[in-house]
Amino acid sequence: MKKSNSEKGHAKNIANTGLLLALIHQKGDAYKPSNPNLAVKNLEKVAAEGEKVQSAVNLAVPLYSNAVMERINFYKPLNRYITKLRKSYKAVYGLTPKQLENFMTVARRIKGIRKSEKEPKGATPEQHSASQASYDQRANSMEMMAGLLKETKEFKPNEQEYKVETVTNMHKEMVVKNKAVASTYAPLNTARLKRDKILYTNQDNLVDLFNGAKDYLFSILETNSADYRAVGRIRFRKA
């Protein structure tokens, strides 16, 4: 049996319950399976449950997607900003090599780059970052950057964008964006788990029940009939 991993596939399974139920209703009293799980009322119940759990997923997806996109848009200019901040920091008179080395270490963490890391040939920008490129790690590193700048007494930029308070505020906003993604992912994940149980993994899941109903219909329909062909075109696939 083919598998459907997309949201479109889940929605198609649910939509197809309506098509099959319409054909079943057309059969009237001729549809009388001995298996009570294939009874019309039970099929209608499971179909309604499927619609309910898919609706919960549909409502949760935009909230999560928006949070993810907002975070991407906020983090996107960080690397360029850190490069400019580095130039401002290097312009400070009296910096020691150790101070500059410490700055570069934190800067690499914010960018998601390890000092020893070598970019493989043909690597895309997305492949350049290693494990330290995680959003939480980058936010934590930005807080470290604010602390480093604060401790560098010689660093007193006139530009607002390089001041310690600006870096501190950026860190706070990074944390806010990360929490927004986490808080919207939890309900989405829960909704998807419930949906998958109803549609695919419960003992009497939607896909198995409606495929069973199809098999029963095939047993009572003429193989050369239009209804037989119509039933064959209605498919329910496991994700």
Q: What is the pLDDT of residues 177-224, one digit of tens each?
A: 999 998 999 999 999 999 999 999 999 999 999 999 999 999 999 999
Supply the range of the domain harboring residue 227. 7-73+203-233
Whether residues 66 and 160 share a domain: the answer is no
Report residue 160 as tokens. 């607002």
- Mean pLDDT of the 214-237 span: 97
Give the pLDDT of residue 112.
78
Whether residues 170 and 105 share a domain: the answer is yes
Whether residues 180 and 87 share a domain: the answer is yes
Whether residues 63 and 79 share a domain: the answer is no
d(CA 67, CA 109) in angstroms, rounded, equals: 23
pLDDT over 90, % of the chain: 83
Residues whose CB is less than 8 angstroms from the CB of residue 146 and which lie 6 or more positions away in sequence, other chains included: 164, 167, 168, 171
- Tens of pLDDT, residue by residue over 82-122, are 999 999 999 999 999 999 999 999 999 998 764 444 433 32
Whether residues 124 and 227 share a domain: the answer is no
Whether residues 88 and 44 share a domain: the answer is no
Cα pseudo-dihedral 149, 150, 151, 156, rounded to 10: 70
Residue whose pair of structure tokens reads 């330290």 in the numeric block: 132
Residue 98 resides in a domain: yes
- Mean pLDDT of the 145-172 span: 97
Whether residues 153 and 209 share a domain: the answer is no
